[in-house]
Amino acid sequence: MRVGVSGAAGQMGRTVCAAVENDPDLELVAAVDRNSAGQAISGIEIRTDLRAFADAGCEVVVDFTVADAARTTLPWLAMHGIHAVVGTTGFTAEDLALFESTFGGDAKEVGGPNCLIAPNFAISAVLMMRFAEMAAPWFDTAEVIELHHNRKVDAPSGTAVKTIERMAAARDTDFKEDPTEIEIYPGARGGVGPRGIRAHAIRMEGMVAHQEVILGAQGQTITIRQDSYDRSSFMPGVVLACKKIRMHPGLVLSLDPYLD
């Protein structure tokens, strides 16, 4: 399968390029990065224009950029019949509605371009979200702590948001209200998501991507933790998505269906 990478000069982009090159079923044919004209990666010149993907005959493009850039890239890929595997986060509900209409708006259409937007491509992270979803109905309180490198621009992370949404959907009632009456430092108790689940975001040098889900009931707690120590942890999921995206029509917002 002929693969292009958007954001190819970034740390994630370079890791994706290497993973594609190392897989016998994939071929890296195009690299685009709007800030790195004239450079090369894996012997391919990095271009700044999206036309590079069409010129190279890409069947799928992997996008690890920022939301502002992806808002332009994804509709362009759909218009040109190219599948998109997206690890970029920070999209709004309006963005997702647009992507849903542009990628196989009619999900019954055979052979149309498809799009996967996943908050996390690490298999361990997918399992962590599933375990948290399973545990959510059985506890009275729940909080999510996500920890990332200090170059991440959005908070809480896409993985934390998706985890909280899935936990909230698994319940019929809200978690117990927070008893805190005074915050010495405003924001110390984090942000409040659906069903009263609180999210805490940490940005720190030395981190890559980590998350804890802590749930409590009388006399007991359970902690579900996932750690990605290196960006290579995301690559098996990215490679799998490139290979299977033809089989998942329209817009998909989680790697789960690709794992059956």
Residue 40's DSSP bridge partners are 45
CA distance 123 to 217: 28
Catalytic residue ranges = 148, 152
Cβ neighbours around 112 below 10 Å, total: 16
CA distance 132 to 122: 16
Query: Is 118:84 a contact under the CB 8 Å cutoff?
Result: no
Cβ neighbours around 149 below 10 Å, total: 15
Using a 10 angstrom Cβ sphere, with 0-12 exposed, 13-18 middle and 19 or more buried, the burial of residue 191 is: middle
